Structures are given as structure tokens and as C-alpha cells.
């Protein structure tokens, strides 16, 4: 079964309230664990950037559910590719809060000091996620 990585970005919709993030993470960790899907979610109270990795079948399954979630909109795939190994294998869903999305990091991977995943190439988004990987506690 091929491993793939999918990276997408999206914006909160009117149906989202800030307290939803805890529920999203709880459900994501439970479901992803069952499907052996791993990854990381960044959130700055307005924008999401998420990486999912696992078997092609299961990542597609999870992404399809996410796509139909009314709590976010303007969902754009930034990268979708076959990989030979996982990079977020210790997280069923790691979480990067706004405080970790610092100006120097944003500037390193985009043209702006603000978190702007819609303006990033898939490769830059992936590299930003890797840079953030070591800054979040392993849960
Ligand atoms: P339930 O949690 O019971 O949800 C049933 C339905 O209700 C779903 O369609 C859900 O979208 C919708 N729903 C749930 N709560 C609300 C609410 N407060 N307001 C409006 N509609 C609601 N899920 C994963 O499994 N893995 C992930 O990695 C993952 N990442 C996510 C990232 C983002 C940015 C968002 C917004 C959601 C993410 N989710 C993830 C959640 C996913 O979209 C589904 O909500 C979830 O997988 C459905 O879980 P469930 O089958 O247990 O149903």
C-alpha cells in the first residue's frame, strides 16, 4: 500500500467557533489513529494548514470527510505526493498553535511575515511544517 502525503490549507467559516479546535483535534486523533493516518495541523484562529500522511486509501478517506466539514471553507490542496517514509509518524495529529507561527518562520517560507499558506508553494508549506515539527510537544 503506497504512502502518500497531502497538504492543504483552508479558512474558518461562519460556522466555526474558536472552541471547536479542541473537538476537531480530539476527533482527528481518534479517527486517524484507527486508520494509521499521521500528520500535523497549524491554526492561527483564521487559517488552517494541515498535513496528512498514510496509505493513499486512508488519507483520501480522511480528506474526503474534512472536505465536507462546514466549519471551514476555501479548501485548497497545496501538495499531494507519494512518499517513501512518514515524517510525522509520532502524531495521530500534532497541533501547532498560533504562538509557534512566528514572523521569522513565516518570512523564511513565504513572501510575508504573516502566516499565509494560500501564498505558499506546496514545497514551502511542507518545509514550514517540518520546521515546526520539532517545536510542538509530542502528544
Ligand atoms: P462527528 O464528529 O460526529 O461529526 C459528524 C458530522 O458533523 C461531520 O460531517 C462533521 O463535519 C459535522 N460536525 C461536527 N461537529 C460540528 C460542528 N461543531 N459544527 C458543524 N458541523 C459539525 N477528522 C479526522 O478524522 N482527521 C483529521 O485529521 C481531521 N482534521 C480536520 C481538520 C480541520 C481543519 C477540520 C475543520 C476538521 C478536521 N477533522 C478531521 C474533522 C472532520 O472534518 C470530521 O468532522 C470528522 O472526521 C467526523 O468525525 P465523526 O465521523 O466522528 O463524526
Domains of the chain: 3-135 (3.30.70.100)
Model pTM? Answer: 0.94
pLDDT at 11: 98
Average pLDDT, integer, range 75-99: 95
Alpha helices in the chain (DSSP H): 20-35, 56-67, 103-109, 122-133
Confidence of residue 72 (pLDDT cuts 50, 70, 90): very high
Dist. CA 71 → ligand 1 center (Å): 8
Q: Which residues contact 46 (CB under 8 A, 6 or more apart)?
A: 11, 12
C-alpha cell at 114: 504573516
**Distance from C-alpha of 105 to C-alpha of 113, rounded to nearest angstrom:** 8
Q: Is the pLDDT confidence value at 139 over 60?
A: no
**Distance from C-alpha of 139 to C-alpha of 137, rounded to nearest angstrom:** 6
Q: Is the pLDDT confidence value at 85 over 90?
A: yes
Kindly report, residue by residue over 12-67, the tens digit of the pLDDT: 999 999 899 999 999 999 999 999 999 999 999 999 999 999 999 999 999 999 99
Q: Residue written as cell 514545497? A: 123
User: In this structure, which residue's CA is closest to atom 24 in ligand 1?
Assistant: 28
CB 18 within 8 A of CB 45: yes
Kindly report, residue by residue over 90-122, the tens digit of the pLDDT: 998 999 999 999 999 999 999 999 999 999 999
Residue 70 CB–ligand 1 contact under 6 Å: yes
Q: Residue written as cell 491554526? A: 43
Q: Is the pLDDT confidence value at 138 over 70?
A: no
Amino acid at each position: 500500500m503506497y504512502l502518500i502525503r497531502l497538504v492543504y490549507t483552508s479558512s474558518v467559516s461562519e460556522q466555526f467557533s474558536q472552541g471547536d479546535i479542541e473537538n476537531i483535534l480530539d476527533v482527528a486523533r481518534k479517527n486517524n489513529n484507527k486508520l494509521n493516518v499521521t500528520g500535523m495541523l497549524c491554526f492561527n484562529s483564521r487559517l488552517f494548514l494541515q498535513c496528512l500522511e498514510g496509505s493513499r486509501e486512508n488519507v483520501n478517506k480522511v480528506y474526503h470527510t474534512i472536505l465536507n466539514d462546514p466549519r471551514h471553507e476555501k479548501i485548497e490542496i497545496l501538495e499531494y505526493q507519494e512518499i517513501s517514509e512518514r515524517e510525522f509518524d509520532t502524531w495521530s495529529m500534532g497541533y501547532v498553535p498560533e504562538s509557534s507561527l512566528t514572523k521569522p518562520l513565516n518570512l523564511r517560507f513565504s513572501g510575508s511575515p504573516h502566516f499565509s499558506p494560500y501564498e505558499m508553494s506546496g514545497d514551502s508549506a511542507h518545509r514550514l511544517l517540518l520546521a515546526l515539527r520539532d517545536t510542538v510537544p509530542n502528544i
